[in-house]
Structure 1
Amino acid sequence: MKLIDLVLRKFHDYSFILPAIVFLSLFLIYPVLYNINLSFRDITIRNLIQGDQLFIGMDNYTTVLTDPLFIKALTNSLLFTLATLVLSTFFGFCLALFFNQPFPGHKWMRAVLLVAWMTPIIITGTIFKWMLDAEYGIINEMLLNAGLISEPVRWLSDTGTSLISVIIANVWLSIPFSMVILLGGLQGLPKSVYEAARIDGANKLKQFIYITFPMMKPTLSILIMLGVIYTFKVFDVIYIMTAGGPANSSQVVPYLAYDLSFTLHRFGEGAALSNISLLIIASISLLYLYLIRKESVID
């Protein structure tokens, strides 16, 4: 009886987190475990419904990892992630520094920039698709009028520019998020340090190099880690603008997993690729955190 009373007492103490546990179990833990199970089976539309899926071990993983298209998609994903992180962090930092200075109208201007972040991605992707259209897009029209090009560029239908086009769209989507995170970090920096630096004769550039940037490293670490997790798994921008084409030139790992599962109906291979993608994201994030922690210990 004492054991039962103890269990009931503990359950009552932690009952407030029960809804969160149920939610995570239904919408996170169960789907992940189910996907892992799918990745070890030969699944088609027929046996997916009937339930007689054959267990084939690591065959799906071997097939995916030895497919040349996977190497192409992985390379594009890494380029897509790296370019987005570098450009969005750079422009986000510039905007954060700009809006960290008080001037008339800075609050409403900052709010306007957040519209890009709040706009549904399907709308943003469609707008960029129209803007980059080879025949009617405003980008080609502006470049032609400025004399920078002699004929329309087929941004989304050319293998040399399709990946660049989706990177531009994703950078535009990511800049407001980077700005908000970095602006919060800048506003938390102690003012007394800058006052002491000004008294010592340090100009704005030296203040940024020796004070702002070193003190912003923890914020930058969080931003980069979140950026890797978010950007590597981007699917919707690719789906709307190029669908991985032309000739797989903008194919990325998440879209390839979707293609395998819902276009080619190779559900086991799609599940295996999804798990590989999850492991890649986790590995990159853990490696980055390890390097940052090691650097902080050395400092």
Structure 2
Amino acid sequence: MTTTTSPAASSAIRERSRSRPGDGRSARRRRSAAQWLFIAPAVLYMLAFFGYPLIRNVTMSFQDYSVATYFTGEAPFTGLDNWRAVFADELFGASLWHTLLFTLGSLAGQFTIGMALALFFSRRFPLSGVLRSLLLLPWLIPMVVAGTVWRRVLDEETGVANEILRGLQLTSANIPWLSSPDAALISVILVNIWIGIPFNMVILYGGLQEIPADVREAAVIDGAGPVRAFFGVVLPMLRPVVTVVLVLGFMSTVKILDLILALTNGGPAHATETLGTHTYQLSFLQLDFGQGAVVGNVLILVSMVFAVIYLRANRDGFTEGR
């Protein structure tokens, strides 16, 4: 049996078939517009509060930007003069070196002690939750408050630290924790380690909870001791979490300003001067905003490098999880 289609019906079918691709493109455009509408507030926020200040900071580093600029409105371009002046300054090199020591020392101490505590609390025992909560207190205290308290604790004459050491007969003389160029940077690093331990412990503890118990049991059955099981089984499985912890720790430590200002104000004799404090000194004490912007841009570049590492580590960790 055969059916025939009238010319009018055939024309209507062809019109509908021709209209379908257009309808699909129109629907995709509507979806795309809706997606952009949803993310537009976030994009505008990023451009206004991050993009514009970043561009202004880069521009300022090529200008003679001083207090007079606020009155005259003139900030003539000086090319690379600000950059040359900053890189030729011995204090910039010292600040860069101190930043490296401060960051690496803080990360090493925070991660090592945080991992030890995470392993300790991975085995449940009475009051473990209460102890974990108490260990979060250093992380919750504002940096300025922590710095002020520790400055009193480490005071050479009246500090509690020296009182305890003398009481235990570990030293007979007061230790100049914050007033000696040789000890100040170490003291600041120790205080920052104390502050950062809870963050490392919490993140690493969460990562340890995701490792199946039967994996550890299998390692023990195969004859692996605690140390071998940790480095051969636990640590490789924690690699994505460890990477994120270290990169986030680096990005938060490399730019620390308030803690150092509260403890030593960059002294004594610039012994604790870092890129963050150097930027503060140039911009707000010497009022040389152009050179301060240069140091700030260097700090931003360093942070951006490790931000890329963090994003890539997150992507790799997500891929492995899938």
TM-score, normalised with respect to structure 1: 0.91
Contact 2:279 2:292 in 1 (8 A): yes
Contact 1:64 1:269 in 2 (8 A): yes
Structure 2: tracts of 5 or more residues without a match: 1-22, 317-322
Equivalent residue runs for 1:23-172 within 5 Å? 23-172=45-194
Residue 50 of structure 1, CA deviation = 2.6
Do the aligned partners of residues 102 and 30 (structure 1) sit closer, same or farther apart at CA in structure 2, a change above 3 Å counting? same
Could you tell me how far apart the structure 2 residues matched to 1:4 and 1:101 are?
58
| Residue identity matched to 1:143 | L
Are the aligned partners of 1:228 and 1:285 in contact in 2 as well (CA < 8 Å)?
no
For 1:220, the aligned partner's letter is V
Q: After superposition, where does 1:167-178 map in structure 2 within 5 Å?
A: 167-178=189-200
Deviation at 1:115, TM superposition (A): 1.1
What residue identity is the alignment partner of 1:128?
W
Relative contact order (alpha carbons < 8 A, sep ≥ 6): 1 or 2 greater? Answer: 1
Q: How far has the Cα of 1:6 moved from its partner? A: 8.2
Give 1:268 shift.
0.4
The correspondence for 2:250, drawn from 204, 215, 228, is: 228
Larger-Rg structure: 2
Question: Partners of 1:27 and 1:137 in 2: how far apart?
Answer: 42
Work out whether residues 247 and 310 of structure 2, in 8 Å CA contact, stay in contact via their aligned partners in 1: yes
- 1:267 pairs, out of 264, 289, 302, with 289
> How far apart are residue 278 of structure 1 and its match?
1.3
* Root mean square deviation of aligned Cα: 2.5
- What is the rounded CA distance, in whole Å, between the counterparts of 1:229 and 1:118 in structure 2? 18
Which stretch shifts more, 280-289 or 197-206?
280-289
Runs of at least 5 residues in structure 1 that lack an aligned partner in the other structure: 295-299
Instruction: Mark the CA change 1:135 to 1:53 in structure 2 (over 3 Å): closer, same or farther.
Output: same
Query: Contact (CA 8 Å) 2:98, 2:273: kept in 1 or not?
Result: yes
Secondary structure, counterpart of 1:127 in structure 2: helix
CA drift at 1:63 = 0.7
Q: Is the 8 A contact 2:276 2:296 kept in 1?
A: yes
For 1:297, the equivalent position in structure 2 comes to none
SS in 1 for 2:223: coil
Task: Determine the structure 1 residue equivalent to 2:20.
Answer: none
The match for 2:18 is none
Quick one: distance in 1 between partners of 2:301 and 2:107?
20
Match of 2:203 among 151, 173, 181: 181
Could you tell me which residue of structure 1 aligns to residue 276 of structure 2?
Answer: 254
For residue 9 of structure 1, report the CA deviation from its aligned partner.
6.1
Residue correspondences, number? 293
**Contact 1:80 1:163 (C-alpha < 8 Å) held by counterparts:** yes
Aligned mate of 1:20, from 42, 49, 66:
42
1:86-107 CA distances to partner (integer Å, 9 max, x unpaired)?
0100000000001111111111
Query: Counterpart of 1:250 in 2: which secondary structure?
Result: coil
Following superposition, the deviation at residue 17 of structure 1 comes to 1.8
Q: Please give the alpha-carbon distance, in whole angstroms, between the structure 2 residues aligned to 1:189 and 1:102.
A: 15
Report the counterpart of residue 227 of structure 2 in structure 1: 205
**Would you say the 8 A contact 2:64–2:78 is kept in 1?**
yes
Alignment of 1:275-286 (within 5 A): 275-283=297-305
Matched with 1:192 is 214
Change (3 A) 1:47 1:76: same
Secondary structure at the aligned position of 2:256 is classed as: coil
Note the C-alpha offset of 1:206.
2.4
* Letter matched to residue 137 of structure 1: G
> Which moved further from structure 2: 219-228 or 7-16?
7-16
Shift of 1:258: 0.7
1:270 shift after superposition? 0.3
Give deviations 1:208-228, integer Å, cap 9, x for gaps.
121112211221111111111
Deviations 1:227-265 (A, max 9, x none): 111111111111111000011011001110010000000
Identity in percent: 38
Q: Say if 1:134 and 1:155, in contact at 8 Å, map to a contact too.
A: yes
Task: Provide the rounded CA distance (Å) in 2 between the counterparts of 1:270 and 1:206.
Answer: 49
Cα shift at 1:128 = 0.4
Q: In structure 2, what residue type is equivalent to 1:108?
A: V
